[in-house]
């Protein structure tokens, strides 16, 4: 146990009035559940302060109280040493608190300028505001077009709107909830520069992230929550990612066991110049996607959200069949024009990105959700010989999955929506893995999942590949891709780059491919440069 692990209130002297904002003894209860249990937190001006903790540790609850969206059951907030009651977000904004939400709070049908105007009090002058937005966003390296409609913008651009919306109010405290989850490495770097500049100008930043490396790099102080309680206050620069993870989880996060599988044999998945037209104004068309995935292999598909990931998923899963049957070949059978159920019968399994509503029906119990993906093709599907549903069997399958993948739930067969994100994700992934599929396609396997659950899911994917299956993993988390993928390809504006060996890929190369020019000779040149640089293109 290091000194940093002990709980020391106000490490540096304890003079409460030097804090910009301070929480003292904050308790928040939802019914019988205590989300925050006597939490103390102090942030100084110009400090980038990390708030760390697993899912459900109470970070969001605490932050919502600082921003006035929730009220504490007990305890007080102090602003520049004076007790304040932050009764609503307007009060918070008047004090000088700005917040960038994890799930963006933007209005898709409105323009950038209108979105920002909604958060601003005072005169309503769209023209003057647009000029201010253009100037300020350029000044901070976050360029924005005020007249653009949000629905047409990328996730990175949307985040810029949120940040500029805060900056335009000249905040003294900026709260950022998982800001880099949706950014390319280059965009994240730009964000760090912006935050460092803000801090140097005296603005405090409360930074919530699961990514410990970036916390180490960026933050001056860290408060760690576990089960609603503050368990440590540390200087993250003096810690390692592993020691921070240990503080968050309360035990060692078990390291991923590398797999030792021979990659080879017939291709489990073969894509031959797959094209898929865009399905609507906000959809991306897939063009000429070719890919070969063999038994024992994990292929990671990197890319920034909105570059065709969901279309790619739909084309392979059969949610949107393609015209040319031979464009998709699963385990030797051409199935481009077949639907999801037929493809499942070929031995494929699919885990979509959105676990609630797409991967599972929110109002159905887990057992019925088991039936939904397994009714047509597999044993233990919950369907008996003459086609009636056998719920006892479905329940036992659900129980087996829950047991094997550590799905924590309140009652034996709860509704899907009552599970926390991480537990539902473990269930949805486990339900498919339980079938021992020959091919598993998974989109964002650990999005919004805490470190413990993420490690379990990644290990399960590795074990599946080690048993001779092929895994195709779409992910925006590059650490995750590097951790488990054998080969890496990048999806960018509907084009898939060649797949490179993971050990010759670097963040810089992925970043280049993510933002890479397309269609023309630029792309070819770039690909050639990459190939020449490493001599390892596959």
Residues making contact with another protein (CB under 8 A): 30, 68-70, 88-90, 93, 101, 105-110, 114, 117-119, 124, 280-281
- Rg of the chain over Cα atoms, rounded to whole angstroms, equals 24
- Residue 40 CB, shortest distance to another protein, in Å, is 23
Q: Assign 190 to helix, strand or coil.
A: helix
Q: Which is nearer to another protein, 320 or 374 (CB)?
A: 320
- Residue 68 CB, shortest distance to another protein, in Å, is 8
The CA–CA distances, whole Å, from 456 to 297, 365, 450 equal: 18, 23, 10
- Residue 119 CB, shortest distance to another protein, in Å, is 6
| Nearest-angstrom CA–CA distance, 8 and 366 | 43
| Nearest-angstrom CA–CA distance, 292 and 330 | 10
Contact 496, 489 (CB under 8 A): yes
Q: Which is nearer to another protein, 117 or 234 (CB)?
A: 117
Cβ-based neighbours of 375, under 8 Å, separated by 6 or more: 381, 382, 383, 389
- Residue 501 CB, shortest distance to another protein, in Å, is 41
Q: What does the angle CA 317 – CA 321 – CA 322 come to, to the nearest 5 degrees?
A: 120
Q: Which is nearer to another protein, 133 or 370 (CB)?
A: 133
Q: Which is nearer to another protein, 90 or 529 (CB)?
A: 90
Q: Which is nearer to another protein, 50 or 129 (CB)?
A: 129
Q: 401: left (phi > 0), else alpha (psi -120 to 50), else beta?
A: alpha
The CA–CA distances, whole Å, from 373 to 37, 342, 345, 350, 415 equal: 40, 12, 11, 9, 16
Q: Which is nearer to another protein, 190 or 418 (CB)?
A: 418
- Residue 344 CB, shortest distance to another protein, in Å, is 27
479 burial (CB, 10 Å; 0-12 / 13-18 / 19+) is middle
Contact 455, 248 (CB under 8 A): no
Q: Which is nearer to another protein, 99 or 271 (CB)?
A: 99
Q: Which is nearer to another protein, 89 or 515 (CB)?
A: 89
- Residue 69 CB, shortest distance to another protein, in Å, is 6
Q: Which is nearer to another protein, 88 or 152 (CB)?
A: 88
φ, ψ dihedrals at 452, nearest 5°: -65, -45
| Nearest-angstrom CA–CA distance, 246 and 54 | 11
- Residue 104 CB, shortest distance to another protein, in Å, is 8
| Nearest-angstrom CA–CA distance, 438 and 32 | 44
- Residue 118 CB, shortest distance to another protein, in Å, is 5
Q: What does the angle CA 212 – CA 485 – CA 190 come to, to the nearest 5 degrees?
A: 40
- Residue 184 CB, shortest distance to another protein, in Å, is 25
- Residue 105 CB, shortest distance to another protein, in Å, is 4
Q: Which is nearer to another protein, 303 or 448 (CB)?
A: 448
Cβ-based neighbours of 153, under 8 Å, separated by 6 or more: 112, 161
């Amino acid at each position: 146990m290091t000194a940093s692990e002990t709980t020391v209130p106000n490490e540096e002297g304890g003079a409460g009035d030097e804090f910009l904002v301070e929480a003292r003894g904050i308790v928040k209860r939802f019914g019988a559940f205590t989300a925050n249990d006597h939490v103390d937190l102090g942030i100084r001006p110009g400090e980038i302060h990390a708030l760390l903790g697993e899912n459900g540790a109470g970070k969001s609850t605490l932050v919502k109280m600082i921003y006035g969206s929730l009220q504490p059951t007990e305890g007080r907030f102090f602003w520049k040493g004076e007790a304040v009651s932050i009764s609503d977000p307007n009060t918070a904004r008047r004090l000088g608190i700005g917040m960038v939400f994890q799930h963006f709070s933007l209005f898709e049908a409105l323009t950038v300028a209108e979105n920002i105007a909604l958060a601003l009090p005072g005169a309503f002058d769209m023209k003057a505001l647009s000029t201010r937005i253009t100037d300020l966003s350029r000044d901070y390296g976050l360029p924005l077009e005020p007249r653009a409609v949000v629905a047409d913008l990328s996730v990175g651009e949307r985040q810029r709107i949120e940040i500029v919306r805060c900056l335009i109010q000249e905040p003294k405290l900026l709260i950022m909830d998982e800001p880099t989850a949706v950014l390319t490495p280059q965009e994240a770097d730009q964000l760090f520069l912006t935050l460092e500049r803000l801090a140097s100008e005296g603005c405090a930043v409360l930074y919530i992230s699961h990514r410990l490396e970036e916390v180490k790099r960026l933050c001056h102080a860290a408060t760690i929550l576990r089960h609603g309680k503050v368990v440590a206050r540390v200087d993250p620069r003096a810690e390692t990612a592993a020691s921070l993870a240990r503080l968050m989880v309360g035990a060692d996060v078990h390291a991923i066991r590398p797999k030792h599988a021979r990659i080879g044999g017939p291709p489990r998945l073969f894509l031959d110049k797959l094209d898929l037209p865009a399905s609507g104004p906000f959809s991306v068309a897939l063009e000429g996607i070719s890919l070969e995935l063999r038994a024992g292999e994990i292929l990671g598909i990197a890319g920034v959200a909105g570059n065709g990931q969901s279309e790619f998923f739909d084309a392979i899963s059969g949610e949107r069949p393609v015209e040319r049957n031979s464009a998709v070949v699963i385990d030797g059978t051409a199935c481009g024009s077949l639907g999801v159920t037929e493809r499942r019968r070929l031995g494929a399994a699919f885990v979509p990105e959105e676990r609630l509503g797409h991967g599972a029906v929110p109002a159905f119990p887990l057992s019925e959700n088991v039936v939904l993906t397994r009714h047509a093709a597999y044993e233990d599907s919950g369907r008996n010989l003459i086609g009636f549903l056998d719920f006892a069997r479905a329940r036992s399958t659900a129980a087996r999955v829950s047991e094997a993948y550590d799905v924590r739930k309140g009652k034996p067969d709860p509704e899907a929506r009552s599970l926390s994100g991480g537990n539902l994700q473990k269930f949805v992934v486990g339900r498919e893995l339980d079938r021992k599929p020959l091919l598993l396609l998974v989109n964002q396997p650990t999005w919004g999942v805490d470190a413990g659950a993420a490690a379990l899911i990644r290990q399960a994917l590795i074990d599946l590949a080690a048993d001779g299956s092929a895994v195709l993993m779409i992910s925006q988390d590059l650490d995750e891709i590097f951790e488990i993928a054998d080969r890496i390809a990048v999806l960018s504006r509907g084009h898939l780059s060649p797949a490179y060996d993971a050990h010759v890929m670097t963040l810089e190369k992925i970043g280049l491919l993510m933002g890479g020019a397309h269609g023309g000779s630029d792309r070819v040149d770039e690909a050639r440069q990459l190939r020449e640089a490493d001599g390892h293109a596959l």
